[in-house]
Structures are given as C-alpha cells and as structure tokens.
Amino acid sequence: MERLRPILDAITPVDRSLETDIRAHLDNLTKPPGSLGFLEDLAASYCLMTGTTTPRLGKKRIVTFAGDHGVAAEGVSAFPSEVTLQMVHNMLAGGAAINVLAKHVGADLQVVDIGVADPLEGASGLARKKVKAGTDNISTGPAMSEEEAIQAIQVGVDLANSAADDGVALLGTGEMGIANTTPSSALYASLIPCSVVEVTGRGTGIDDDRLQNKIKVIERSLAVNVQLFNNPLSTLAAVGGLEIAGICGLILGAAGRRLPVVVDGFISSAAALVAMRLGESVRDYLFFSHCSAEAGHRTFFERLDIRPILDLDLRLGEGTGGALAMQVIEAAVKIYNEMATFDSAGVSSKAD
C-alpha cells in the first residue's frame, strides 16, 4: 500500500464551499428551480470536480484496457479466450461498438494492451502496456502479485496524466477481456461486501448450468485467496484482473488531476470500487454512466447510494455506456453555461 501513497496523497476532496454559488446560478436560470432534475446535479458535480463556478468543456477520451483471464479455463464465459484478441483487432480496425459510439460523441479512443495473452505483434494503433500475458486462474490462487497489480495501476495513472496534459476534460473507462465479469463479481463480493449470488450474472449470456458453475468458481476463488484480503490492493491482486487494475489506476490518476471520470459498466465499476476503497475522496471525481443489465450492478449502486446516469439494459462494456453518458454530462454543463438568467433575459422570477 505504501507504494501507492504518492498517488493517493495527490487526491483531495472537492471544495464544497463552491456549491452555494453553483446552485444559486442554476436556480437563477430561466426555469423553475430544480426543474431540470438530475441534469442540474450533473452540472453541479462537474463544477465541483473541476473546482470552478465557470466550467469549460473540452476534449473527451475513452481508454479501453484489454486483458485475458486464467479463470476463463473454468468455463465461466460463453466465449473462448481468443475472443479477447479478436476484439482488440476489431477495435483497432474501427469495427467495435465502442468505435461507433466514441465517434458519435466525438471522443478519442485509446486501446491499451495491459494483459492480453497474445503478444499482438504488428498491431498498429495499440498502446502497448502489457504487464503480464493474462492473469493466473483465481480459483486456484492469486490472479497476480501485488507488484504486478501496482504496475498495472501505474499504467492507468500514467495514461490519466497524459490525458490531463492533453487537455482532456472528460475521461471515460472501458475494457475488453473474456471472463472478466468473474473477477469483477469476486471484487464486489469481497469489497462491498455481499454474497456472491447477489453480484453474479450471466456475463456474455451463459445458461443456467454455467451460471451455477460461475457462482461456485467465484466462491472457490474467494475461499482460496481469503488470506490475501488484507487491503484493497491485495484483494485486487488476489481476485482482480489486469484491465481492472489499469482502470483503477486511470481513476486514481485522474482524481489526482481533478479530471472528471465517466465510469462505464459492471467491470469498470468494480475497478472504481477498488479505487474508492483505496482513497475516500476518489468518489468526488466520478460519474457513473449507467446501470448494467448484469446482475449485481444494481446491488453495487444501492449499497453505495450512487445514482447512475442511464439505465438502458447495456451489458457490453468496452466503454459504450460511458460514451453515451458523456453527451448527457456535456448537455448539463451547456445548460449551466448557455441558458439565460432571469436578470439577463428580463424574465420575472418566481414570486415570493
């Protein structure tokens, strides 16, 4: 944990003293106070995250981390492990859902190999940050060493710093990794904490028999690694994934730079949970884009009292929900910046 101290010490709470002026401005816009509902909350959150009552929009970037998982050998996914590699190539060719949605919302897409089993030689346009060629099987031992988890976190921190230096104003998370709902469920169960059944779903579409097997595999993984659950970092190393660690680092690094993060779905939220357990102020800098159709995501939001922006039954990952939510956040900030006030428009305000 001490290795992460400089990263965590850079994260400070938002300045809540700004909220009075932010809310006063929202209430002075030409509308009944509060009539734009959650949009007003999003605008206020963006102002607080960026530390200003005069927010500015800028570039958007989605960082999609790819990694393989040893636990895939336990039959927890409907797809074989080689699909991770195939989907990375698909993303690099521009053919994945995240390519379409990132382009639609005007966001840059960065695809990162942080733990794909294949060496991916000759793949162009790929950020090569491989820590390890896939995790080990969590049902028989730890996914990775703490040192490897720290390396993966540092990859994410460095990418967040690069985004901040590039003038990115909204940073989205994404992932690709066959079987990665399994370590995500293990992290939820251990860090919320809650039962495995509450946070385990069908992932890529497994049938009832595979779902029961998946639950048993996760329960076995927790039992095998329980002695390693000493803190959030060791828990991440024990039952997490390399792409999950990368996203965790991206979140930590962005929070340290006051760069708002749009968290994608079930897997990204597991990474966010680790980050929030590592640093209590991390949550101040997070927008949660949507509630996934994956069983357990709603449990996460309810237990942590978080309201996601969208609820569209998405369960793809890649950063797709985050891309869509970016437009909602931008709309909220534009409302804050561009609507007339009662005074400027010569409109009478609500009678006392």
Active site residues: 318
Q: Which two tokens stand for residue 319?
A: 């950063």
Residue closest to 288 by CA, chosen among 256, 251, 253, 243:
251
Residue closest to 267 by CA, chosen among 341, 193, 204:
204
Q: Which two tokens stand for residue 251?
A: 């979140």
Residue closest to 114 by CA, chosen among 81, 73, 141, 84:
84
**Paired sense of beta strands 127-128 and 168-176, if any:** unpaired
User: What type of residue is 348?
Assistant: S
Cα 324 to the chain's mean position, in Å?
14
**Paired sense of beta strands 107-115 and 261-263, if any:** unpaired
Whether residue 123 contacts residue 75, with contact meaning beta carbons closer than 8 Å, is answered with: no
Whether residue 233 contacts residue 146, with contact meaning beta carbons closer than 8 Å, is answered with: yes
Tokens 């929030």 correspond to 276
DSSP 162-176: HHHHTTEEEEEEEEE
Q: Which two tokens stand for residue 91?
A: 């993303």
Tokens 């985050």 correspond to 322
